[in-house]
Each structure stands twice: as C-alpha cells, then as structure tokens.
Amino acid sequence: MKLSLPAGSFRAYLFDCDGTIVDSMPLHYVAWKTSLADYNCVYEEKLFYAWGGRPIREIIRLLNEMQGLDMPVDVVAEKKEAIYHSLLPQLKGIPEVIEHIDAQHGRIPFAVVSGSRRASVEGSLRSLGLLDKFDTLVCAEDYARGKPAPDGFLLAAERLGVAPSECLVFEDTDLGIEAATAAGMASVKVPLPFERTAA
C-alpha cells in the first residue's frame, strides 16, 4: 500500500502520532479494555476508532455519561497510560508513513499533533527511534480544544513558522481530517489497521 499525497509543494509535514506514525491503536485498545474492565465499562472497538484523536480524559468522561458510570477520570487515565507504556516493546511503525518521514527529513520541518499526552507521544516515538526527527510536538496539554477543532494544527504551523496553506497533514481519523481542513491544510488519510490488512 502506497500513500498518495495531494498535489502541491508543501513546506511542512504535520503528523498525528497514534495510528499514523506508529501502529499503536491496537495496543491502545488493549490498554483501554484492561483499564476499563474493573469498572464494567464497555468500549466497543468501532467506537474506539471513531473517537480516535480525542483526549484520554474526555473519552473517560464521555463513557461515564453514556453508561451512567462514575469512573475516577485521573485514576483510569493514569492506569490506561501505564498499561500502554508496558506494551511499547511490541510497538511497530507504519511503513508507508515512515517512508515519507525518511524521504523529507532534513528538507522540511516536521511536527506531531496528537490528542495524546506528551509522555505517551514521546514514549511511542522514542521506542521507534523517531523522536529526534520532529521539530516540535503539540500534545493534549498544549491546547484547550481537541480535534476536530483546528487548534493543535494551527499551533504547530505557528511554531514551525509555516503558513497553514503550506502544511500537509497525515491523519488516520475522520476527526483529524476535519481538524486539518478547518485549519486550512491539505491532508492525506492513513488507512486504519483493518483497512490496511484488507488492502
């Protein structure tokens, strides 16, 4: 599978992390299932992928509302992240995206724009030896409104000193593509794990 990029010359690449650079979504789902089991909370895989890009604490709050639960948000979030970190040795990159990182690294600046917290993003990128390839990381702590709001992408463009119209976004979720479009940026959709295996 090759990623076909939109036409145009771009002065910066902005990448989502989970499911885009790193094939971490299956590991994140394991971490979610394990951490929610204590509370009899159901998190269907389809919903998990639909909510890709949402901050972890927002997901817990929404699950509480939907299922009439009272899970302690910070406790569940910390447990979920700890389980994910324990799974990092199993993490793999997404070759079709890494190929574009390798091809353009050193030619144009790169940023990561993620709904995950910085420790999670750094852990994922470090485990694959990719952390030093990015000029800036924009993570959940850095903005108030998550995807599909454009805030994270606009902040990344500002930090890189590149106009939004000259940025290309790599994303695996519809929320992320919506956020890129709202920021006035072109985007390329990275297929989800089950879409890649079907290809």
Which are the catalytic amino acids? 16
Provide CB contacts within 8 A for 185, sequence distance 6+: 14, 153, 157, 164, 165, 167, 168, 169
Rounded CA separation 195/23 (Å): 13
Classify strands 167-171 and 186-189 as parallel, antiparallel or unpaired: parallel
Q: Closest by alpha carbon to 171, among 194, 148, 144, 190? A: 190
Tell me which H or E stretch contains 58: helix 56-67
